[in-house]
């Protein structure tokens, strides 16, 4: 029996030590996911908390097929989606016309020197609808068809949101790398 | 278009792939109450067993104290006429002759004991039969007898039953209703039941580790007890000759050194994470969160006791020229303690010996983790998730040297076992305990 299976069985038996062990081992990775899907730290903490409660409540449904970490990540992403759905009417999406085209061709963009922290900061600056579609498509690998069902939008809107998200990200990455280069050159 | 943009998708996908950020500790505190937990019967069993042992010891000690102080079941009371104080005599049927006589024109019953050896002037509590002399030959009226027996010292507490056997010559059998009653001598009326003591002790703190996994072994192996201290004021009340109940207020400081944790200064300029904490260190007393943003910590041995996104392959403190501080963390807790202790006196001489057992409610007043830099403390964090109130049981032996009626010198080796651990880390079963030798002076009043 693998160690993770032992921990899962302990959690199912209600052993507090195994529950904490499971949390301690995976909370850091899942918190990074929560930060990626949220606009502020408070929302990220709420997603992590609700996500972990669901993980513990649904452990008995885990079939021990495939990656356990992937299973937990999907629950966390779904929790973020639920949060988004419950709040998305409150979010204002930037007017598409105000978004400028990127200065540089994406193929020729220099991404060197960007740390994970920078990427996280850039992605969190996106408007919520764009951030959600970009995360689901580019990071999680869902199709536009799947995303349209998840977010209750049309495929066209999903594609359009992705496109706008990419443009914004491109511009922000450009400004980050530009700042870095200027700083490096003194 | 999609192909052209795939590059930026990859940048974010790969860049964030293994990214980790330590969540704030309060998240787990919020999750805990919401998830199902199986009661851990062995904890309650241990507590129950401890209480049962203490109660059994107390009960047996109480029984024993009763046994050794027991006088014969049937006993009589007589009186020293001069002092009107009761005297215990062995079981004897007392018969007195009551004769009628005319005094001041009224008939009075005059009582004369039939036993020639009943009452003596001996002030000892027990009067041997052969030493008894008749002190009742002077005529006493029945009412005077009743006044003597029912009035004054024992009018309400120990009524005597009086049996009249004839009209002219009557027998009076005096039998105490409460045979166990043992009137104390005149000296014990001024017994000092209260005492107050000032006590202090160096304290050795450590843990029992009943798990055998790698993590708990690693944790236990790296922790060293540091000698701490405890002190306070104890107030006790003497319930009877053997038993006292004691409470008080103590301040105690416990601590341990955690070896093998290298700490470095100057990390703040490299820290780009969003979380409140970058490092969590598992210890037997709970998880230490490093809240000093300028400190980088790394374990000098492989293992899982440090949780961080800045693992060895991500950040090298030596390459970043961080300033090495120390390889030891010091974890410190301070408590205000409210003990409830039962003391049983085994030996009651000039040099008393007491058995001591009880429980203590401990309220945490300080929790800090620091390291030492050139002899001074450098705070780096605190242990999270600790209960503000915890319960400990104590067992000890009290040696008491009475150098006067009022004052005594006390020495009390005491073992204390914490019934609920401070914050048991995941994957381990560790129970703290402490041992101290309390010494001090007590004053009886």
Q: Distance between CA atoms of B94 and B148, rounded to whole angstroms? A: 15
Interface A–B counts its CB contacts (< 8 A) at 134
- Lowest mean pLDDT of A73-82, B86-95, B226-235, B280-289, name the range: B86-95
Selected residue of B2, B5, B21 to mutate for chain A interface (largest A Cβ count, 10 A): B21
Q: Distance between CA atoms of A115 and A55, rounded to whole angstroms? A: 30
Residues 60-99 of A with CB under 8 A from B: none
Taking contacts as CB-CB distances below 8 angstroms, the residues of chain A near B34 are 53
Q: Distance between CA atoms of B335 and B109, rounded to whole angstroms? A: 72
The residue behind tokens 């209703």 is: B177
pLDDT-based confidence at A117, cuts 50/70/90? confident
pLDDT(B150) > 60: no
Helix (H) or strand (E) run with residue A150 in it:
helix A144-151
pLDDT(B169) > 80: no
Who contacts B377 (Cβ-Cβ below 8 Å, separation ≥6)? B330, B370, B371
Residue B4's pLDDT is what?
58
pLDDT(B42) > 80: no
The residue behind tokens 């052969």 is: B130
- Lowest mean pLDDT of A76-85, B309-318, B389-398, name the range: B309-318
CB contact under 8 A, B28 and A13: no
Q: β-strand B389-402 against B306-308: which pairing, if any?
A: unpaired
Residue B184 contacts A, CB cutoff 8 Å? no
CB contact under 8 A, B274 and A35: yes
What is the average pLDDT across B51-77?
60
Residue A53 contacts B, CB cutoff 8 Å? yes
B409 neighbors B444 (Cβ within 8 angstroms): no
Residue B12 contacts A, CB cutoff 8 Å? yes
CB contact under 8 A, B28 and A27: yes
Helix (H) or strand (E) run with residue B339 in it:
strand B323-347
Q: Which residue has the higher pLDDT, B60 or A83?
A: A83
B117 neighbors B130 (Cβ within 8 angstroms): yes
pLDDT-based confidence at B390, cuts 50/70/90? confident
CB contact under 8 A, B28 and A20: yes
Name which of B16, B287, B424 is nearest A116 (Cβ-Cβ). Answer: B16
C-alpha closest to that of B306 among B267, B261, B274, B271: B261
pLDDT(B383) > 90: no
- Tell me, what's the ipTM? 0.85
Q: Which residue has the higher pLDDT, B196 or B180?
A: B196
> What is the rounded average pLDDT for all residues in chain B?
72
Q: Which residue has the higher pLDDT, B313 or A147?
A: A147
Residue B6's pLDDT is what?
66
pLDDT-based confidence at A66, cuts 50/70/90? confident
Residue A106 contacts B, CB cutoff 8 Å? yes
Q: Which residue has the higher pLDDT, B213 or A33?
A: A33
Taking contacts as CB-CB distances below 8 angstroms, the residues of chain B near A158 are none
Q: Which residue has the higher pLDDT, B239 or B172?
A: B239
Taking contacts as CB-CB distances below 8 angstroms, the residues of chain A near B4 are 105-107
Residue A184's pLDDT is what?
66
pLDDT-based confidence at B124, cuts 50/70/90? very low
C-alpha closest to that of B276 among B291, B264, B262, B287: B291
Who contacts B125 (Cβ-Cβ below 8 Å, separation ≥6)? B87, B88, B183, B185
pLDDT(B245) > 60: yes
């Amino acid at each position: 029996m693998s160690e993770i299976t032992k921990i899962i069985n302990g959690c199912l038996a209600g052993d507090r030590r195994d529950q904490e062990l499971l949390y301690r081992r995976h909370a850091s990775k899942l918190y990074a996911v929560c930060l990626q899907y949220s606009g502020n730290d408070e929302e990220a903490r709420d997603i992590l908390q609700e996500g972990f409660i669901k993980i513990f409540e649904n452990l008995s449904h885990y079939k021990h097929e495939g990656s356990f970490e992937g299973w937990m990540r999907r629950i966390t992403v779904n929790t973020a989606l639920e949060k988004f759905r419950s709040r998305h009417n409150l979010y204002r999406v930037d007017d598409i016309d105000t978004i400028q085209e990127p200065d540089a061709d994406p193929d020729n963009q220099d991404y060197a020197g960007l740390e994970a922290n920078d990427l996280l900061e850039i992605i969190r600056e996106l408007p919520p609808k764009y951030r959600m579609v970009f995360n689901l498509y580019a990071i999680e690998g869902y199709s536009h068809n799947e995303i349209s069902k998840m977010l209750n939008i049309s495929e066209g809107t999903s594609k359009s949101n992705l496109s706008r998200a990419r443009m914004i990200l491109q511009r922000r990455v450009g400004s980050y790398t530009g700042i870095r280069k200027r700083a490096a050159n003194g | 278009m999609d192909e052209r943009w795939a590059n930026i998708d990859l940048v974010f996908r790969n860049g964030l792939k293994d990214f980790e950020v330590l969540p704030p500790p309060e998240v787990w505190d919020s999750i805990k109450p919401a998830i199902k937990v199986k009661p851990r019967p062995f904890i309650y069993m241990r507590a129950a067993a401890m209480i049962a042992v203490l109660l059994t010891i107390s009960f047996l000690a109480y029984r024993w104290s009763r046994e050794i102080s027991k006088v014969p079941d049937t006993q009589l009371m007589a009186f020293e006429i001069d002092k009107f104080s009761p005297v215990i005599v062995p079981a004897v049927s007392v018969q007195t002759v009551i004769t009628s006589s005319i005094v001041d024109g009224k008939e009075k019953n005059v009582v004369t004991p039939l036993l020639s050896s009943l009452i003596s002037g001996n002030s000892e509590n027990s009067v041997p039969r052969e030493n008894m002399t008749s002190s009742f030959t002077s005529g006493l009226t029945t009412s005077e007898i009743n006044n003597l027996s029912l009035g004054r010292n024992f009018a309400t507490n120990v009524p005597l039953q009086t049996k009249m056997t004839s009209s002219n010559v009557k027998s009076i059998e005096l039998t105490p209703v409460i045979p166990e009653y043992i009137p104390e001598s005149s000296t014990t009326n001024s017994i000092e039941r209260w005492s107050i003591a000032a006590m202090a002790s160096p304290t050795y703190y450590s843990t029992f580790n009943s798990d055998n996994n790698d993590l708990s072994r690693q944790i236990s192996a790296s922790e060293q007890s540091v000698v701490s201290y405890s002190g306070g004021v104890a107030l006790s009340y003497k319930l009877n000759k053997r038993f006292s109940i004691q409470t008080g207020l103590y301040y105690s400081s416990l601590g341990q050194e955690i070896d093998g944790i290298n700490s470095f200064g100057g990390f703040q300029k490299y820290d780009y994470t969003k979380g409140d904490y970058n490092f969590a260190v598992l210890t037997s007393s709970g998880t230490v969160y490093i809240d000093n943003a300028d400190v980088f910590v790394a374990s000098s041995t492989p293992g899982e006791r440090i949780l961080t996104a800045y693992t060895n392959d991500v950040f090298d403190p030596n390459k970043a020229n961080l300033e090495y501080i120390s390889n030891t963390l010091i974890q410190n807790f301070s408590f205000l303690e409210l003990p409830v202790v039962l003391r049983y006196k085994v030996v009651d001489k000039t040099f008393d010996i007491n058995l001591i057992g009880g429980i203590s409610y401990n309220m945490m007043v300080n929790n800090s983790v620091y390291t030492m830099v050139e002899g001074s403390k450098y705070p780096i964090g605190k242990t999270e998730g600790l209960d503000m109130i915890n319960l400990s049981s104590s067992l000890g032996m009290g040696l008491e040297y009475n150098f006067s009626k009022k004052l005594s010198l006390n020495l009390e080796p005491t073992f204390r076992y914490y019934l609920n651990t401070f914050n048991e880390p995941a994957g381990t079963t560790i129970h703290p305990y402490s041992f101290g030798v309390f010494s001090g002076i007590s004053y009886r009043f």
